[in-house]
Chains A and B, each alone.
Chain A
Amino acid sequence: MEFFLQLLLNGVVVGSIYSLVGLGFVVIYKSTSVLNFAQGEFLVLGAYICLTLTVQYQVPFFWAFLLTLVFSALMGILTERLILRPMIGEPVISLIMVTLGLSSLLKAIVQGIWGTELQPFPNIFPAEPVRIGPLPVSQGYLYSLLSVAVLLILFTLFFKYTRSGVAMRATAFSQQVSLSMGISVKRIFALAWSIAAVVSAIGGVLLAGVRGGLDGAMAFFGLKVIPVVILGGLDSIAGAIVGGPIMGILENLAGGYLDPLVGGGAKEVAPFVVLVLILTIKPYGLFGKIKIERV
Chain B
Amino acid sequence: MRCGDFRQSYAEDMSLFESPLPRVLLAGLLVFLLVLPGFASTYWLDVLSRIFIAIIAATGLNVVTGYTGLISLGTAAFLAVGGFATAAMAGKAGLPFVVVIPLSGLLTALVGLVFGIPSLRLKGLYLAVATLAAHYIVEFIVTHWDAMTGGVNGISVPPAHFAGLALSDDRSMYYLILPVMVGLLFFTKNLFRTKVGKAFVAIRDQDISAEVMGVDVFRYKLLSFAVSSFIIGVAGSLLAYQARLISPENFPITLAIDYLGMVIIGGLGSILGSIFGAIFITLLPEMLRLATDALGSYWPSLMVIVAPIKTGVFGLVVVLFLIFEPDGMAARWNHIKAYWKLYPFSY
Contacts and interface: CB of A to CB of B under 8 A. Distances in A.
A96 B136 contact: no
B213 interface: no
- The residue among B208, B308, B313 with the most chain A CB atoms within 10 A of its own CB is B308
B42 interface: no
Given A262-B144, A268-B140, A98 B319 contact: yes
A226 B121 contact: no
B314 A97 contact: no
Interface stretch (A52-60, A62-70, A85-93, A241-249): A85-93
Contact size range, A: 35 or more
Contacts of B318: 97-98, 100-101, 104
Contacts of B211: 295
Prevailing SS type, chain B contact patch: helix
B243 interface: no
Nearest to A112: B308
Contacts of A268: 136, 140
B136 A269 contact: yes
Nearest to A106: B315
A275 interface: yes
Given A111-B308, A112-B312, A275-B130, A280 B118 contact: yes
B189 to A, nearest CB: 22
Prevailing SS type, chain A contact patch: helix
Contact of B133 (A86, A92, A102, A276): A276
Contact of A279 (B133, B309, B314, B315): B133
Interface string B244-264: 000000000110010011001
A148 B260 CA distance: 35
- The residue among A98, A230, A273 with the most chain B CB atoms within 10 A of its own CB is A98
B118 A104 contact: no
Contacts of A83: 319, 323
Interface in A246-295: 262-265, 268-269, 272-273, 275-276, 279-280, 283, 295
A219 to B, nearest CB: 11
Contact of A101 (B65, B124, B132, B315): B315
A108 interface: yes
Interface of B: 65, 69, 71, 117-118, 121-122, 124-126, 128-130, 132-134, 136-137, 139-140, 143-144, 207-208, 211, 217, 253-254, 257, 260-261, 264, 268, 305, 307-319, 322-323, 326
